[in-house]
Structure formats: structure tokens, C-alpha cells
Amino acid sequence: MPMLHGRVRSFDEEQGFGWIAVEVENDVWVHFSGIYYDPARFPSGFRFLAAGQKVAFDLRENPHSVEQAQVAASNISVYNRECSLEENVIN
């Protein structure tokens, strides 16, 4: 299955999860463990997403107990990882 593309609708850093908006699908649930770890982007090891960021991801069966989400995003990578956060956000 090819990677899907969307943008982060919301992400709660304290809870470690959020939602990705996808044009052709329902919103996709995301847990911080599905975010690709890039030491340059997450030097502290704390992985998070910002609302509006464009992302690419795969789908997998949701391993977490979330009633409203049968699938979850995995292998999530942010477009233009070399850019500043402001340049990654969709206006």
C-alpha cells in the first residue's frame, strides 16, 4: 500500500496522540510511537507533531485501545524536515 499524505489536525503533546486529516479518508488517529524518530528533529527524544504540519504515513491496525480509531498512522514523517516549523505549517 502506498504512503498516504495529510496534515496534522491536532496533537496533544501531554497525552501523546492526535489526528491527521486526509482528503480521501476519515481522519486518522496518531500516537507518538508512530512518528519516525529523527535525532536531528527530536534531540531530546520527545516526539510530537504540530497542527498544520504536512505528513506522509502508512496505516496499521491500531495497537492502542481507542474505540473511535480502528487504524492508526505509522512510519510518520514530516515534509521538509530540514525547514523550520513555520515553513512546515500549512496556512
Question: What confidence tens digit (pLDDT) does each residue in 23-47 have?
Answer: 877 888 888 888 888 788 778 888 8
The number of domains in the chain is 1
Inform me whether the pLDDT recorded for 85 exceeds 80.
no
The rounded percent of the chain whose pLDDT value lies above 90 is 13
Q: What is the mean pLDDT of the chain?
A: 76
Res 80: pLDDT: 54
CATH number at residue 39: 2.40.50.140
Structural domain boundaries, residue 13:
4-88
Q: Which of 41, 54, 42 is nearest to 6 (CA)?
A: 54
| Gap between the Cα atoms of 30 and 40, Å rounded | 21
Angle at 25 between CA 2 and CA 70, to 5 degrees: 90
Q: What is the pTM of this model?
A: 0.71
| Gap between the Cα atoms of 30 and 37, Å rounded | 14
Res 69: pLDDT: 62
| Gap between the Cα atoms of 15 and 37, Å rounded | 18
The rounded percent of the chain whose pLDDT value lies above 70 is 75
Res 23: pLDDT: 80
For residue 77, give Cα distances in angstroms to 17, 65, 68: 15, 23, 23
